[in-house]
């Protein structure tokens, strides 16, 4: 039973003391918590957010100024730190509220066909592959770390315009994303190769496949960092800096 609910920057109504938490579900990096009063709380973790469960009266694992949600139930506190997205909506309209999200890649049997269809539908063709992998409308679950790791695993340049990525390779990228995400669902350090990550955070270190120095760059409007190996992931298919106003590739919809 809910003893206390605090959320500083919440968009939407608040569940009331005395309600119960009926379900908790993760969809990619979105966490949904359903309350008996008919509200769903959605928190999105992006790069920074996390939920922690602490025994009532126990020490918080992170400083109080990072706290976004505090939920007290008998004997326990659920604490959400640093989540950038925080909102509630009626549980009855959950389907509509979440309709913008692509299929979840973290589930056992992800709907890759649907991801591919949404990729074709939503992309004009000039978007760099790395940005498309991050697009939650296409597929849900890939964050900045896995974007770089998946492109390295499939030996493809993350800056390739999506129209130049053939359908079979798109499918492999999504399947590899799903496999790596599921292998990292538990707590602890994320690993994609024995001993850690292949490229992410390894600027100028040796590629684990070919020994060349890993490179680091930001792409897209999100100023997100990308790591890749220029030798294993050659840029032969890259156009000169696709950007706003660039003409969409002609084969954007037929390029499956
Ligand atoms: Zn390499």
* Tens digit of each residue's pLDDT (9 = 90 or more) over 231-242: 999 985 444 444
Distance CA(223)–CA(213), nearest Å, equals 22
State in Å: Cα 115 to ligand 1 middle.
Answer: 28
Residue 237: helix, strand or coil by DSSP? Answer: coil
State in Å: Cα 208 to ligand 1 middle.
Answer: 7
State in Å: Cα 62 to ligand 1 middle.
Answer: 37
- The answer to whether residue 221 scores a pLDDT higher than 80 is no
State in Å: Cα 229 to ligand 1 middle.
Answer: 5
Instruction: Please write the tens of the pLDDT for every residue from 243-254.
Output: 333 334 333 333
Range in 95-99, 106-110, 225-229, 247-251 the model is least confident about = 247-251
State in Å: Cα 22 to ligand 1 middle.
Answer: 48
Position 48 scores a pLDDT of: 74
State in Å: Cα 84 to ligand 1 middle.
Answer: 34
pLDDT greater at residue 97 or residue 112: 112
State in Å: Cα 243 to ligand 1 middle.
Answer: 27
Position 47 scores a pLDDT of: 67
Position 223 scores a pLDDT of: 55
Element (H, E) at 152: helix 144-153
State in Å: Cα 151 to ligand 1 middle.
Answer: 11
Position 188 scores a pLDDT of: 81
pTM: 0.70
Range in 51-55, 101-105, 139-143, 240-244 the model is least confident about = 240-244
Range in 158-162, 173-177, 215-219 the model is least confident about = 215-219
State in Å: Cα 220 to ligand 1 middle.
Answer: 23
Position 252 scores a pLDDT of: 36
Position 251 scores a pLDDT of: 37
Position 83 scores a pLDDT of: 84
pLDDT greater at residue 63 or residue 223: 63
Residue 135: both structure tokens together: 């697009």
State in Å: Cα 28 to ligand 1 middle.
Answer: 29
pLDDT greater at residue 221 or residue 48: 48
State in Å: Cα 225 to ligand 1 middle.
Answer: 18
Q: Could you please report the per-residue DSSP string of 64-104? A: GGGEEEEEEETTEEEEEES-SEEEEEEGGGHHHHTTTS--B
State in Å: Cα 232 to ligand 1 middle.
Answer: 4
State in Å: Cα 116 to ligand 1 middle.
Answer: 27
Instruction: Please write the tens of the pLDDT for every residue from 112-153.
Output: 999 999 999 999 999 999 999 999 899 998 988 999 999 999
Range in 88-92, 155-159, 248-252 the model is least confident about = 248-252
State in Å: Cα 224 to ligand 1 middle.
Answer: 21
Phi, psi angle pair for 68, to nearest 5°: -110, -40
State in Å: Cα 193 to ligand 1 middle.
Answer: 13
Are 27 and 105 a contacting pair, CB within 8 Å?
A: no
């Amino acid at each position: 039973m809910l003893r206390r609910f605090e959320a500083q920057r919440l968009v939407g109504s608040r569940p009331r003391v005395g309600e119960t938490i009926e379900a908790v579900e993760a969809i990619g990096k979105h966490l949904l918590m359903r309350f008996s009063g008919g509200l769903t709380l959605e928190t999105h973790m992006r790069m920074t957010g996390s939920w922690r469960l602490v025994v009532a009266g126990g020490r918080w694992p992170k400083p109080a100024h990072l706290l976004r949600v505090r939920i007290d139930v008998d004997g326990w506190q659920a604490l959400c730190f640093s989540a950038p997205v925080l909102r509630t909506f009626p549980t009855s309209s959950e389907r509509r509220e979440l309709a913008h999200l692509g299929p979840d890649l973290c589930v056992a049997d992800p709907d890759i066909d649907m991801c591919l269809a949404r990729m074709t539908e939503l992309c004009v063709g000039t978007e760099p592959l790395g940005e498309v992998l991050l697009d939650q409308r296409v597929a849900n679950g890939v964050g900045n770390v896995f974007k770089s790791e998946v492109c390295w695993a499939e030996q493809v340049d993350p800056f390739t315009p999506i129209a130049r990525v053939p359908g079979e390779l798109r499918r492999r990228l999504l399947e590899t994303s799903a496999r790596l995400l599921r292998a990292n669902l538990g707590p602890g350090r994320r690993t994609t190769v024995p001993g850690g990550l292949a490229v992410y955070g390894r600027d100028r270190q040796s590629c684990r496949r070919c020994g060349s120095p890993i490179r680091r760059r930001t792409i897209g409007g999100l100023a997100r960092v990308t790591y890749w190996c220029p030798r294993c992931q050659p840029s032969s298919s890259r156009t000169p800096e696709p950007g706003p106003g660039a003409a969409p590739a002609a084969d954007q919809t037929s390029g499956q």
